């Protein structure tokens, strides 16, 4: 085979084995899987998720085999379930990240969950198969991010999950479906066309996908907009340093309740926001591994209180403890599931490598 970057990735995907997963990798993978399910469950309560779900149920006649986060009894076709659950996972922007910055689990886990339900009885992947495919999807994203000379700073032009996440999802699904090395190579090549239309596919069967995908996605963009989905103005409060600082000052903490309509539009918050001045020192570079946050409060007495943070709790240098991770998961999942089902998911993920049928997840 031709010695290319794509073929080397295909060789890795095809050759990865369960014994390549160390105990530490399996442990951390299960943390990420549990956390991602939790944020997906709470994401199933959001408006953007409802739009995506309604859109899929209205416009497609699915082969209904794959489950949807937070909607007992609702099934979609595998691809639409992956799409809808992917929307849920990132709808609150609570899902995991790393440096160079992307959201690795959300682009992979929904695809694997949908695919595991798609396969017929007797061919279901095991829990260890699932863990291996999940890690293949993460590894491909990580390698692509580290190859990029621009990825280490905050991206200015592309949202990384839309590019490397597409490749990671294809790699993970290819592994779960036990594709051949050649098929892994084709899956990556096709995914590249769906993620960015490279000219390397100009003379292949994948080239028409550039036009077909542009047609379909552009059409779908207009239909989603017609149903009320927004692009630029969504989630501004969650991404506003000023808002989060003021909400924390008023309430003592920032949580899901901070982003309700009533909290966002309250008068005391508006008055406090009017007093905020934002500065961007030259030494505070746009890099998630180096940037810091600093607050100075000028009181009526003339006193000044300051605080600075360069490694927040949950940062890759300061990950959540097991107790905090479980607290986050239980809090997220409680918006959708009763306690006994929440605890059942925790137990299932904790014993994932011992499952004989990963579709149980």
197 Cβ neighbours under 8 A, 6+ residues apart: 210, 213, 214
pLDDT the model gives residue 249: 94
CATH classification at residue 188: 1.10.4100.10
For the chain, 361 residues long, the average pLDDT of each consecutive 10-residue run is: 80 93 96 93 88 73 82 89 90 86 90 91 94 95 88 77 89 92 87 78 70 60 70 75 94 90 93 95 88 94 95 91 96 95 97 94 92
pLDDT at 196 (0 to 100): 81
Residues 125 and 205 grouped into a single domain: yes
Structure tokens at 242: 């000023």
pLDDT of residue 230: 72
pLDDT of residue 215: 55
Q: Do 87 and 180 lie in a common domain?
A: yes
Q: Please tell me the predicted confidence (pLDDT) of residue 295.
A: 95
Please name the residues in contact with 104: beta carbons below 8 A apart, sequence gap of 6 or more: 32, 96, 97, 98, 137, 138, 141, 142, 165, 168
pLDDT at residue 248, rounded to an integer: 94
DSSP summary character for residue 286: S
The pTM is what? 0.74
Report the pLDDT value the prediction gives residue 173, as an integer from 0 to 100.
93
18 lies in the same domain as 97: yes
Question: Cα(247)–Cα(258) distance, rounded to whole angstroms?
Answer: 7
154 with 14, same domain: the answer is yes
- Total domains in the chain come to 4
* pLDDT of the residue at 212: 57
Residue 264: give the domain boundaries: 233-278
Q: Quick one: 182 and 126 in the same domain?
A: yes
């Amino acid at each position: 085979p031709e010695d290319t970057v794509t073929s080397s990735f295909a060789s890795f995907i095809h050759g990865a084995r369960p014994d390549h997963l160390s105990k530490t990798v399996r442990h951390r993978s299960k943390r990420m899987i549990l956390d991602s399910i939790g944020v997906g469950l709470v994401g199933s309560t959001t408006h953007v998720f409802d739009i995506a779900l309604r859109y899929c149920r209205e416009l497609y006649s699915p082969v209904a085999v794959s489950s949807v986060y937070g909607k007992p009894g609702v099934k979609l076709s595998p691809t639409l379930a992956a799409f809808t659950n992917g929307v849920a996972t990132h709808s609150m922007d609570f899902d995991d990240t790393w440096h160079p910055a992307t959201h690795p689990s959300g682009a992979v886990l929904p695809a694997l969950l949908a695919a595991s339900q798609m396969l017929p009885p007797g061919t279901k992947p095991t829990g260890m198969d699932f863990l291996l495919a999940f890690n293949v999807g993460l590894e491909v994203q990580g390698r692509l991010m580290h190859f990029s000379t621009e990825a280490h700073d905050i991206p200015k032009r592309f949202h990384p999950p839309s590019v490397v996440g597409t490749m990671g999802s294809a790699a993970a699904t290819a592994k779960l479906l036990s594709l051949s090395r050649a098929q892994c190579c084709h899956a990556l090549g096709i995914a590249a066309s769906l993620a960015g239309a490279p000219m390397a596919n100009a003379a292949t069967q994948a080239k028409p996908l550039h036009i077909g995908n542009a047609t379909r996605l552009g059409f779908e963009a207009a239909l989603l907009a017609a149903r009320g989905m927004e692009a630029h103005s969504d989630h501004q409060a969650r991404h506003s340093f000023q808002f989060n600082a003021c909400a924390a000052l008023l309430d003592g903490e920032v949580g899901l309740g901070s982003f309700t309509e009533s909290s966002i539009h309250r008068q005391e918050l508006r008055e406090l926001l009017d007093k905020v001045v934002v500065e961007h020192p030259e030494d505070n570079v746009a890099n998630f591994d180096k940037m810091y946050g600093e607050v100075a409060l000028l009181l009526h007495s003339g006193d000044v209180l300051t605080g600075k943070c360069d490694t927040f709790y949950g940062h890759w240098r300061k990950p959540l403890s097991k107790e905090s991770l479980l607290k986050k998961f239980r809090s997220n999942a409680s918006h959708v599931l009763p306690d006994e089902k929440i605890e059942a998911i925790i137990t299932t993920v904790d014993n994932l490598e011992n499952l004989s049928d990963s579709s149980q997840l």
